[in-house]
Structure 1
Amino acid sequence: MNKRVALSWSGGKDSCMALDVLKGKGIEVACFITTVPREIGRTFGHGEKMSLVKLQGEALNIPVEFISCTFEDYTLSFETVLKRIKEEYGLDGIAFGDLYLEGHREWGEKVAESANLEAIYPLWGKKEDALQALQTFIESGYQAVVIRVREDILDDSWLGKRLDFTFLDDIKMKEICPMGESGEYHTFVFDGPLFNKKIVLTQPEIISLETTKKLEFLHYELKQKETLNG
């Protein structure tokens, strides 16, 4: 019997590639898990609107389980919801899109253990593999846009950039992780091989969130994907 897992979902390139790898291994992703601290009313880390993450779930035909929490009780809330959805979805494990940060993995393994679930890291590798990981994403057929940058590292001219080979060349020139593993930048995936519909993002504006700049889309909708005839 195939494994059934929940996937920690940010809406960005890492979690999307984790989904792609899991599916390729025949592992069923039963649901996404996305944390929403009440202090900000947006997704943790990426600062994205819940409505856009819901749209991704709809486009991928995977339900999204939002974890309402505070920064103070973040871990406890995660563990509590994880235990509930383990029973609800019949889960064997929980997967994360982390690449190489040991502290992130230790946390994920801890919360998985609290629910007696396997912690799965389909993208795990070494820091020096990050550039190749970015190239793999670009070649995968998924479409993503930069939606958030740390002001002390990247200016707001990076907002709205598509992850393509031009982006790959540009990011090589910066002394940062090419995948933005330490939060240098965040992305939003809006189309790709597993998407049944694509998300059309329009009316962008730049807003400030803490020490970052965020690209906010005022209008977004699902659209049917074009099919090739013949």
Structure 2
Amino acid sequence: MKRGFALYTGGKDSHYAIYKALEEDILVDLLVIVKPVRSDSWMFHTVNIDLAVKHAELMGLNYLLIEVSGVKEKEVDELKRKLSRVRELSDYEVVVSGAVGSTYQKERVDVLAEELHMRHVTPLWGFPPSKLIVEEASNLSFVITAIQAYGLRMDWLGNVINASNVHAFLKDVEEASINPVGEGGEFETFVLSSPLFKRGLLYVRKAEMVTYPNFGVGYYLIRDLGTSTSS
């Protein structure tokens, strides 16, 4: 079994990529959480990013929180410099990411991995987005933490998506003509339950809703999370 680290956001795709990597005999034992200083990063997730460390705790994994500028292209170089040290001190062979269809993101991580003498593994790459989100919701539950596409109903913000309502969500997403997995930032998510969580499930104790209806934009900012051992 090959060892690797994952570029991790706490969202459904980066999480599910770790789950699917196991099917390729790849064990992720480090979460690399990238925190951009700017909120308009081209590469990296920003909403509730600090909470991704909670997933490391529930999965029993180590994590590395890396701060980058958030400036296009520069942020990737900053990440590479910081990961070079990790590579020198470890025997990691692969970098796992949750890229699905974004050539911009995949190509940059391809180059990053090559320069670190590692292999970039993308278990979700090329998966039909409408099928992927249904499969993800059949195995995980995740809350919608951002809506950033005009046309998607704002009442989905803060809702937990799982097998019971994913088809209704998908219908609205497709009617709004946006990417079914939200890979372009049309919506963002945070995972609350997963087979990978060994130490309980998460629930939101406190959150703040910030919306800009005229722009079709809203954020569900999680202020406090609780852990439950029951499903």
TM-score range, shorter chain: 0.7 to 0.9
Query: Which residue number corresponds to residue 167 of structure 1?
Result: 169
> RMSD value over aligned CA atoms?
2.3
Query: Which residue number corresponds to residue 6 of structure 1?
Result: 5
Residue of 154, 157, 167 corresponding to 2:155: 157
Following the alignment from structure 1 to structure 2, what is the Cα–Cα distance between the partners of residues 151 and 171? 10
CA offsets 1:110-164 (integer angstroms, 9 cap, x no match): 11112111111111106xx110111111222x11010011153435322112223
Following the alignment from structure 2 to structure 1, what is the Cα–Cα distance between the partners of residues 4 and 59? 15
Q: Which runs of 5+ in 1 are unaligned?
A: none
Structure 1's 125 and 151: CA in aligned 2 closer, same or farther, altered over 3 A?
closer
Following the alignment from structure 1 to structure 2, what is the Cα–Cα distance between the partners of residues 125 and 13? 16
Query: Which residue number corresponds to residue 191 of structure 2?
Result: 189
Query: Which residue number corresponds to residue 58 of structure 1?
Result: 57
SS at match of 1:67: strand
* Counterpart mapping for 1:1-230 below 5 A: 2-39=1-38, 44-50=44-50, 52-72=51-71, 73-125=74-126, 129-140=128-139, 142-150=140-148, 152-163=150-161, 164-196=166-198, 197-207=200-210, 212-225=217-230
Following the alignment from structure 1 to structure 2, what is the Cα–Cα distance between the partners of residues 211 and 173? 15
Q: Is the 8 A contact 2:8 2:32 kept in 1?
A: yes
- Please report how far the alpha carbon of residue 92 of structure 1 lies from its aligned counterpart in structure 2 after TM superposition: 0.2
User: Aligned pair count?
Assistant: 220
Following the alignment from structure 2 to structure 1, what is the Cα–Cα distance between the partners of residues 84 and 91? 10
What TM-score, normalized to structure 1? 0.86
- Please report how far the alpha carbon of residue 49 of structure 1 lies from its aligned counterpart in structure 2 after TM superposition: 4.3
- Please report how far the alpha carbon of residue 21 of structure 1 lies from its aligned counterpart in structure 2 after TM superposition: 0.4
Following the alignment from structure 2 to structure 1, what is the Cα–Cα distance between the partners of residues 70 and 205? 31
CA offsets 1:88-116 (integer angstroms, 9 cap, x no match): 34210101101112121111111111211
Q: Which runs of 5+ in 2 are unaligned?
A: none
Following the alignment from structure 2 to structure 1, what is the Cα–Cα distance between the partners of residues 75 and 84? 15
Following the alignment from structure 2 to structure 1, what is the Cα–Cα distance between the partners of residues 107 and 61? 26
What TM-score, normalized to structure 2? 0.86
SS at match of 2:89: helix
Following the alignment from structure 1 to structure 2, what is the Cα–Cα distance between the partners of residues 53 and 153? 28
Q: Which ranges of 4 or more aligned residues in structure 1 deviate by more than 6 Å?
A: none
User: Letter of the aligned partner of 1:45 in structure 2?
Assistant: H
Structure 1's 45 and 30: CA in aligned 2 closer, same or farther, altered over 3 A?
same
Q: Is the 8 A contact 2:34 2:68 kept in 1?
A: yes
Q: Is the 8 A contact 2:145 2:189 kept in 1?
A: yes
Q: Is the 8 A contact 2:101 2:126 kept in 1?
A: yes
User: Letter of the aligned partner of 2:107 in structure 1?
Assistant: E
**How much identity, in percent, do the aligned residues show?**
21
